[in-house]
């Protein structure tokens, strides 16, 4: 199973790209569990909620991986939850840190901030997208995670991501 995480700041097209790539490769994609969780919360989220979201995200990924057709696209990863937690609360639960170290994605697509901001009640930082982008990049480099930067408008992003997915598939062919 080839696993690809789509990561990066809010409002950078992660969900859109995950859905488009899954359709292109006739497989499933893992949506962002936080959307449903926070949407049903009815109160401000806490540090404990972020850990619950992380657990829910991994459970959803395991569940959907069983339905995947040789490749799985994940709309988010533990890095998103680590950065969210550290920014919002100044620290990250150890459990999320441990899971981040165990991530086994074959590739991470780091989404650029060159798309227009789309307002959404669950999005919080339209003025900090470049700051977060640089944070994600530093973390991915420090983790020595296999990643590529994805930028451009929607079709350009799909094209660029597809090129990297194709290269990965060729590398993994017997």
User: Which residue has better confidence, 173 or 63?
Assistant: 63
Domain count, the chain: 1
Nearest Cα to Cα of residue 132 among 112, 148, 116, 109 = 112
HEC-encoded secondary structure of 89-118:
HCCCCHHHHHHHHHCCCCEEEEECCCCCCC
Residue 150: the pLDDT is 97
**pLDDT tens digit sequence for 26-85:** 999 999 999 899 989 999 999 999 999 999 999 999 999 999 999 999 999 999 999 999
Residue 115: the pLDDT is 86
CATH number of the domain enclosing 35: 3.40.50.300
Q: Which residues of 109-118 are buried (b: 16+ CB within 10 A; e: fewer)?
A: bbbbbbbeee
The alpha carbon of 104 is separated from its chain's Cα centroid by a whole number of angstroms, namely 13
Residue 123: the pLDDT is 75
Residue 120: the pLDDT is 73
Residue 122: the pLDDT is 76
**pLDDT tens digit sequence for 118-163:** 877 777 887 899 999 999 999 999 999 999 999 999 899 999 999 9
The alpha carbon of 133 is separated from its chain's Cα centroid by a whole number of angstroms, namely 12
Nearest Cα to Cα of residue 18 among 34, 29, 7 = 29
> Alpha-carbon distance 13 to 123, whole Å?
13
List the structure tokens of 71.
């490749």
1: Cβ contacts below 8 Å, ≥ 6 apart: 65, 68, 70, 71, 72
For residue 27, the enclosing domain spans 2-171
């Amino acid at each position: 199973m080839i696993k690809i995480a789509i990561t990066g700041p809010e409002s950078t097209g992660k969900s859109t790209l995950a859905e488009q790539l899954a359709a292109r490769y006739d497989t499933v994609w893992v949506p962002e569990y936080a959307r449903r969780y926070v949407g049903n919360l009815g109160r401000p989220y806490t540090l404990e909620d972020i850990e619950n979201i992380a657990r829910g995200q991994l459970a959803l990924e395991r569940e959907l991986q069983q339905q995947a057709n040789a490749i799985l696209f994940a709309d988010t990863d533990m890095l998103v939850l680590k950065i969210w937690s550290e920014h919002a609360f100044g620290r990250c639960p150890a459990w999320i840190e441990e899971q981040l170290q165990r991530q086994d994605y074959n590739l991470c697509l780091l989404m650029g901030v060159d798309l227009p901001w789309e307002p959404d009640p669950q999005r919080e930082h339209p003025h900090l997208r470049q700051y977060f982008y640089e944070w994600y990049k530093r973390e991915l480099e420090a983790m020595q995670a296999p990643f590529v930067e994805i930028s451009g408008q929607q079709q350009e992003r799909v094209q660029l991501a597809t090129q990297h997915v194709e290269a990965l598939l060729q590398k993994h062919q017997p």
